[in-house]
Amino acid sequence: MESVCYNPIGIVETPFAEREGMPIQAAGGEGVRGRINLKPEYVEGLKDLDGFSHLILIYHFHLTQERHLVVTPFLDDTPRGVFATRSPNHPNTIGISTVRLLAIKGNCLEIEDVDMVSGTPLLDIKPYVPAFDHREPERLGWLEKAGAKVRKTRADKRFT
């Protein structure tokens, strides 16, 4: 299987200069503002995007050095298989977050509810559409109990 290479389309700026103390999910970054600086050559692709209140951002966890198949997540004390967690230490360090779009000015997108470190390389922007993206899961595994803590939990130094 060949490796796949992507060129970042821009950079996400946030108030978080480092990972420690950050929200661990966009749902925990409620009200925190950030900005996407899109490469100017992609501005034409933003047409019609201002009609959407929420965007899915796909980005690269550029600070993540280590890879682990088993991790102890922020929300738990038990080691879990990495694919059963939202930790950044997956074999491919790809992040997804749904954020609120406030305004588009040229190549800058003002956004809210951010949970990524400033300087994060952005790979893609998609409109968030419940008809496509929303499900009602019957089972949430180990997050059944722990998920409710997401809004208050902040990152520490465990994932490097």
* Residues from 47 through 86 that contact its own copies (CB under 8 A): 47-54, 56, 58, 60, 62, 69-70, 80-86
Q: Are 76 and 147 in contact (CB under 8 A)?
A: no
Q: Which among 58, 24, 32 has a CA at the least distance from the CA of 147?
A: 24
- CB 156 to its own copies: min, Å: 18
Beta bridge partner(s), residue 57: 97, 125
CB-wise, 17 or 129, nearer to its own copies?
A: 129
Distance CA 26, CA 49 (A): 20
Distance CA 151, CA 30 (A): 8
Select from 14-22, 38-46, 152-160 the region that touches its own copies (CB under 8 A).
38-46
Distance CA 148, CA 102 (A): 26
- CB 138 to its own copies: min, Å: 5
Binding pattern to its own copies, positions 96-135, x when CB under 8 A?
A: x-x-x--------------------x-xxxxxxxxxxxxx
Distance CA 106, CA 50 (A): 12
Select from 12-20, 22-30, 152-160 the region that touches its own copies (CB under 8 A).
22-30
- Alpha-carbon Rg for the chain, nearest whole angstrom, is 16
- CB 43 to its own copies: min, Å: 8
31 interacts with its own copies by CB under 8 A: no
94 interacts with its own copies by CB under 8 A: yes
Q: Are 128 and 57 in contact (CB under 8 A)?
A: no
- CB 144 to its own copies: min, Å: 8
Beta bridge partner(s), residue 95: 59
Select from 12-20, 21-29, 152-160 the region that touches its own copies (CB under 8 A).
21-29
- CB 26 to its own copies: min, Å: 7
